[in-house]
Amino acid sequence: MVSRRLLDLFLELARIDGLPGKEDAVAKRVFAFLSALGLPAQMDGAAAAALSSTSNVVCRVGGGGGLALLAHMDTPRYTSSTVPVVTADRVSADGKNPLGADARAGMAALLYAVERAVNTNLPLKPFTLAFTTKGRHNMAGAKHLVLPESVRCGFVFDAPLDPGAYTVSSHGVAQFSADVLGRSADAAAEPEKGVCAISIAARALAALKFGRHDAETTSNIGTIAGGSEPGTVPLAAMVRGQVRASVPESAKPVLDRIKAEFQAAAAAAGGAAAFKWSWEFAPYAHPADAEVRRLADEAMLGAGLAPVPVPAKSGSEANALNARGIAAVSVGTGVKNPQSNSEYLLLEHLAKTSDIAWQLIKK
């Protein structure tokens, strides 16, 4: 059964707008909440690096310890106009606006667990709480999050899974760009003097296979642009796409092939091609004996739940933490239809999510 205090805290947070990079009001509320409990809340100074109006809120309890518990502060849409509908078993969006539960359920669960611990004088492990900016946008807050060097494991409270489930692996996304340079010319008077950048890009793309490469690796072209007007041989063209893979080694051959085809097509036509790629977020996978999985399992069992380790269906801040060498998983919060006007959260799931956090931080 959910406590009235936890539900009220969730509803309070859900009413605060916090678009990605504009979570100032949310950060101020979290900072004030933690400070009122006598906890050492700080702004970590990551705003500039994250291109955000606010830094992450970080609270090192007992010096910070080896665990970090995270929730992101942003929602993709405004939530302040939503009139939540609370019934006997759930809280729902009003059908016109989102509830914001994809972000605020994790936040409320963490804050309530800490408040409950402080108010009951619960002996606590040293740990770090973090509330991040731009978690759903590009994970910029988590990528630039200032954490103690002692942190080894991270638990991100944002997965659209039922409480008890947590992610043990995730695909990564490698973003790539191919910029093609040809030679401009008047297409009517002297077309033979031109080198068509769009044609170069088209030849390269025609020679490539996109879609599914194997059970765990896919690629896609998402954007093509080029030229200036119909009567001019186009000087430049740009192609943007991505490769998704469960391990870095699977992405590399696909990216190498794309690069080679663009360079070959450009060289054959007398043009040039520049190819770049980088991980938007890298993949991760934790073996069965990993410390982070042991801690997750213990917390789930302590909360009366059966641990359910699953592969992630999409990236999360856990990817950003793993890329930094912090073994991290995303914890299910039970949110249904996230970010939609039909979003809802079972009250039992909200209570269990906070219980998981409680189990992680208590000695």
d(CA 109, CA 163): 11
- Give yes or no: residues 215 and 185 share one domain: yes
d(CA 295, CA 298): 5
- Give yes or no: residues 52 and 165 share one domain: yes
- Give yes or no: residues 156 and 229 share one domain: no
Handedness of CA 273, 274, 275, 280 (dihedral sign): negative
- Give yes or no: residues 182 and 92 share one domain: no
Longest CA pairwise span in the chain (Å): 84
Handedness of CA 100, 106, 109, 110 (dihedral sign): negative
Beta strand 90-92 with 344-346: parallel, antiparallel or unpaired? antiparallel
- Give yes or no: residues 217 and 335 share one domain: no
pLDDT tens string, the chain, 363 residues long: the values are: 789 999 999 999 999 999 999 999 999 999 999 999 999 999 999 999 999 999 999 999 999 999 999 999 999 999 999 999 999 999 999 999 999 999 999 999 999 999 999 999 999 999 999 999 999 878 999 999 999 999 999 999 999 999 999 999 999 999 999 999 999 999 999 999 999 999 999 999 999 999 999 999 999 999 999 999 999 999 999 999 999 999 999 999 999 999 999 999 999 999 999 999 999 999 999 999 999 999 999 999 999 999 999 999 889 999 999 999 999 999 999 999 999 999 999 999 999 999 999 999 999
Domain count, the chain: 2
Domain extent, residue 187, equals 172-281
Q: In 3D, which of 192, 339, 188, 205 has the Cα closest to residue 266?
A: 205
Q: How far apart are the first and last CA of the chain?
A: 24
pTM for this model (two decimals) = 0.90
- Give yes or no: residues 32 and 115 share one domain: yes
- Give yes or no: residues 166 and 179 share one domain: no
- Give yes or no: residues 88 and 198 share one domain: no
74 in Cβ contact with 162 (< 8 Å):
no
- Give yes or no: residues 328 and 275 share one domain: no
- Give yes or no: residues 182 and 321 share one domain: no
The CB-based long-range contact list for 188-194 (8 Å cut-off, 24+ gap) reads 188/231, 191/233, 193/233, 194/233
State phi, psi for 45 to the nearest 5 degrees.
80, 15
105 in Cβ contact with 10 (< 8 Å):
yes
Looking at this protein, which amino acid is placed at residue 213?
A: H
- Give yes or no: residues 203 and 258 share one domain: yes
335 in Cβ contact with 14 (< 8 Å):
no
CATH number, domain of 210, equals: 3.30.70.360
Domain boundary at 281, 309, 325, which? 281
Domain boundary at 227, 262, 281, which? 281
Q: Which helix (H) or strand (E) holds 322?
A: helix 317-323
Domain boundary at 241, 260, 281, which? 281
d(CA 307, CA 314): 20
CATH number, domain of 84, equals: 3.40.630.10
Q: How far is CA 191 from the centre of its chain?
A: 48
- Give yes or no: residues 343 and 302 share one domain: yes
